[in-house]
Amino acid sequence: MATRVDPARVAALKEREDAAFVAARPRSAALWAAGRGVMPNGVPMSWLRTSYDHPPLFIESAAGSRLRDVDGHEYADFNIADMSMFTGYGPAPVVEAVSRQVALGSQYLLPTDDSIWVAGELARRYGLPLWQFTLAATSANTEVIRIARSATGREKVLFFDGKYHGHFDDVLVQLEDGRLVPEEDGLPRDVTARTVIVPFNDLDALERALASHEVALVITEPALTNNVGLLMPDDRFHAGLREVTRRTGTLLAYDETHTQVVGPGGLTSRWGLDPDLVTVGKSIAAGIPLGAYGMTPDVAAVLERPAGRDDDKPQVAVGGTLFGNPLSMAAARAAMGEVLTDEAYAHTRRLGTRLADGLEEVVAAAGLAWTTHRFWPRSGLSFSPALPRTATEAMATLDVPLRRLVRVYLANRGVWDAIVGAGPTCSVAATDEDVDRYLAAFGDLVGELV
């Protein structure tokens, strides 16, 4: 069985599909041209252009599990806005709650009773009693790091190679030939000074890194799901991680921003994990901006300050004018109370399993030694005979030209696939018809490849 397909065939199919994509979307092309006059790269966030090598797709509307672009093409959406729309588009309870709250006022810079309900529900789901709110998981991770530094008196933060925890300085560091380097441009020269990175699943390396007692916080996804496909933890990894962090006085945070789609309480609940802090974001408010983080009472103590801020001790650098706003709170209460239910998670897991089964059948019939992963609602492929355990192994199997071909090929057949490095995810609104559409398009592609 082969792990690689003919690069020349991939290139030829990509050229054909790119031409078809552009020809079928003249309105998107016209909007992109207009956008370049007022926005870098012609889009409201330059990342929207650089993440794909085909021209940007301009969207007219979305409903349920489907997107519709300005040229009238409909897509079964398996990217679901990088999992931020796991609820599906326009769920009725959220639409009603948000519409009602906008009429009452979208921002007060004062708390509402919805914030108590949302914090209590997150506490019930994740098992951590005290919560704070931001507008995105990036901000939640930023504040968790600041709280950990205040609580421990240490500065360094440890991440695992292959991580993604948002777009702020401390986390935009990567390993390159065994040394730490800035991950992107525009970062300070000393950005690596406070960051430690070790391989995922390597408890020995973790032990060595924490032995100096200089690390304030270890932050990780329970399973790495973002930049490197899917890295699942070894059987004793999380138990070892918790033991060594406690022994060295290091706080432990789980970033459930992507992994929360596995069920209420994410992997923290499913796997019985015991962190000091948890961060979430994306879909908990059905795409209305919201991030949140939970913590133990011991950790939360650094945020407790007398009213009036008239003491001499400086406060932890947290908060923002729009954080915890009533619109986000109303959306989150409706999403978690009426959309992200136990039954909804069971539905997405069934569809995710069905998608993985179908992918496996297509690959096996084609004689390809690729591995299918099953991660509740999210399925996908590693172009290797076994799932990787580390970022180094994952990067060795990442065939970017093939991934790019998959994306544009599926788009031309009414399927919007996950971004490179992730895998297709079935939303709460997804249907068996959506899965059938994905598998039919993917089957046609593999047939042309082999």
* Phi and psi at residue 71, to the nearest 5°: -95, 5
Give this prediction's pTM: 0.96
3-class secondary-structure state, position 75: strand
What integer pLDDT is reported at residue 1 of this predicted model? 72
Compute the Cα dihedral for 430, 433, 439, 441 and give only its sign: negative
Task: Take residue 422 and report the two structure tokens written for it.
Answer: 């992730």
Q: Nearest CA to 148 among 320, 299, 317?
A: 299
3-class secondary-structure state, position 121: helix
What integer pLDDT is reported at residue 89 of this predicted model? 98
6, HSE (Cβ side, Cα atoms, 13 Å): 9
- C-alpha 146/C-alpha 155 separation (Å) is 9
- Determine the topology of domain 7-86+341-449 in CATH: Aspartate Aminotransferase, domain 1 (3.90.1150)
What integer pLDDT is reported at residue 421 of this predicted model? 67
Domain ranges for the chain:
7-86+341-449, 92-339
- Contact, 222 vs 271, CB < 8 A? yes
- Contact, 162 vs 391, CB < 8 A? yes
**Average pLDDT per 10 consecutive residues for the chain, totaling 450 residues:** 88 98 98 97 88 92 98 98 96 98 98 98 98 97 97 97 90 88 89 94 98 98 90 97 98 97 98 98 96 98 75 86 98 98 98 98 96 94 92 89 95 93 92 98 97
- C-alpha 359/C-alpha 115 separation (Å) is 41
- Domain boundaries 92-339, corresponding CATH code: 3.40.640.10
Q: Which helix (H) or strand (E) holds 374?
A: strand 371-375
247 contact partners, CB below 8 Å, separation of at least 6: none
Between the alpha carbon of residue 41 and those of residues 50, 235, 353, 379, the distances in Å are 8, 45, 38, 31
Q: Nearest CA to 220 among 297, 270, 271, 277?
A: 277
Between the alpha carbon of residue 271 and those of residues 238, 262, 275, the distances in Å are 9, 11, 12
Strand runs labelled E in 202-348 = 215-220, 251-255, 277-280, 291-295
Task: Take residue 37 and report the two structure tokens written for it.
Answer: 């006059």
- C-alpha 39/C-alpha 26 separation (Å) is 19
Task: Take residue 362 and report the two structure tokens written for it.
Answer: 């297509």
239 contact partners, CB below 8 Å, separation of at least 6: none
What integer pLDDT is reported at residue 307 of this predicted model? 60
Strand runs labelled E in 24-135 = 59-63, 66-69, 74-77, 130-134
Q: Nearest CA to 206 among 177, 238, 180, 231?
A: 238
What integer pLDDT is reported at residue 355 of this predicted model? 98
Q: What is the dihedral of CA 248, 253, 259, 265, to 10 degrees?
A: 110
Q: Nearest CA to 210 among 163, 180, 177, 246?
A: 246
117 contact partners, CB below 8 Å, separation of at least 6: 333, 337
- C-alpha 9/C-alpha 449 separation (Å) is 7
